[in-house]
Structure 1
Amino acid sequence: MTHLRTIIAPPASHRVPWCTLLLCAATVAFSIHAAIEISGAWLGRVRIVEMERYGLRFEHILDLELWRLVTAQLVHVRQPHMVSNVFCLFLVGTAVERHMGAIRVLAVWLIGGSMAMLVSTLFAIPPWNLGTGASQAIMAITGAGLWLTQTGADRSRFLMLTLGFTLALALVLDLIYAHYPKPGHIAGVLFGYLIASLSRRTIRESAA
């Protein structure tokens, strides 16, 4: 009977992080598609304003263009940035999804990432205040992971190392390119932590 329960509901550490894998694949595919469409080359660099069709601003939400909550987080101006984001998304998503489950990780990615992206647009001058990229969503999932460690739901070495690496890399890149921690990244961590804490009961049940 115990063996049967294990097959039906495998332990958290044995779960396949299908949501994270799908998000990674979608990010690669959609970002390359946008680059080819705009620049004609899959490694082509585009300007942020050329992502108007996919990006996100507050006025887009007011116009009910809600598909941008998804497309904005999949496209990237520079493909090397996309590759590094997908790598971090895979690491932190895999570590967090095994305890939170696919649906909750997707919620953190969509809600936390979108809200943090909107925060980031407040600190740029139009028309450059167009939100794109997976960084904010990665920080949101990282925030959910921090909640897991803080509550004791998961204090595994894998999760701790993954969170430390992701946060350190984001901070270093922010200091190099922006010279300060980006508000969107800080907001992402806070939103992710909040979303995880609001669903703490179901997360604990799924990890049991």
Structure 2
Amino acid sequence: MFPNQELFSTLAGTNIYILNGEYWRLITPIFIHVAFAHVLFNSFSLILFGPALERALGKGLFIIAYIGSGIGANIATLMIKPPYYTHIGASGAIFGLFGIYLAVLLFNKHAMPFYGKQVILPIVAISVIMTFFSPNVNIIGHLFGLASGFIIGRIILQFKSIHFH
């Protein structure tokens, strides 16, 4: 259980509260988790896939893309899920990173070495498939995080050349 239930209640993305003007709840869920396994999996994903993308984008743009993808996932959750639905976790933002990688692979094919493509494509596919078979997962958050990242990646590629080494 979350160590401080009041803090959790204030930061979780509860749709009805967002609809009533607590807009920070579109951002704060990206940074909170309730289970150790959840934070461990998200941290592991970020450690594996974040550094190369951060080097390619730069720190500032990486942070904007990561948080932007999480917000996109949370807005979709707000629009699609029922009013009393509560969501937490960085998974939408993590899937956003996957979406950026997919945008790079589609629109800037030569930016990523072949071995990078061999790693990222199966991981994205497995992650999307596992979304549908894992309990207590915000499927909307995962899918729209991926879509948000893809859109953000496409926009970034309009203005910045990205290369992985």
**TM-score by structure 2 length?**
0.79
Q: 1:159 and 1:100 mapped to 2: Cα distance?
A: 18
The within-5 A match list for 1:1-208 is 35-38=2-5, 51-56=8-13, 57=15, 59-60=17-18, 63=21, 65-66=23-24, 68-127=25-84, 129-150=85-106, 151-156=108-113, 157-158=115-116, 160-177=118-135, 182-204=139-161, 207=163
Code of the aligned partner of 1:174: F
Which secondary structure state, in structure 1, belongs to the residue aligned with residue 133 of structure 2?
Answer: helix
Gapped regions of structure 2 (runs ≥ 5): none
Determine if contact 2:112/2:163 at 8 Å carries over to the other structure.
no
Code of the aligned partner of 2:48: L
Code of the aligned partner of 1:172: M
Per-residue CA deviations over 1:76-116 (Å, capped at 9, x if unaligned) read 12121110111001111123222122222111111111121
Percent sequence identity over matched residues?
Answer: 19
Structure 1's 170 and 123: CA in aligned 2 closer, same or farther, altered over 3 A? same
- Segment of structure 1 superposing worse, 143-152 or 93-102: 93-102
- Report deviation, 1:36: 2.3
**Where has structure 1 moved over 3 Å in runs of 4 or more?**
121-126
Determine if contact 2:2/2:8 at 8 Å carries over to the other structure.
no
Aligned residues: CA RMSD: 3.0
Per-residue CA deviations over 1:118-172 (Å, capped at 9, x if unaligned) read 3124454443x12210000000111001111222253222364145325413532
Aligned length: 161
Structure 1's 167 and 133: CA in aligned 2 closer, same or farther, altered over 3 A? farther
Code of the aligned partner of 2:133: L
Q: Which has the higher contact order (CA 8 A, sep 6+)?
A: 2
The equivalent residue for 1:16 is: none
- Report deviation, 1:183: 2.0
Gapped regions of structure 1 (runs ≥ 5): 1-33, 40-49
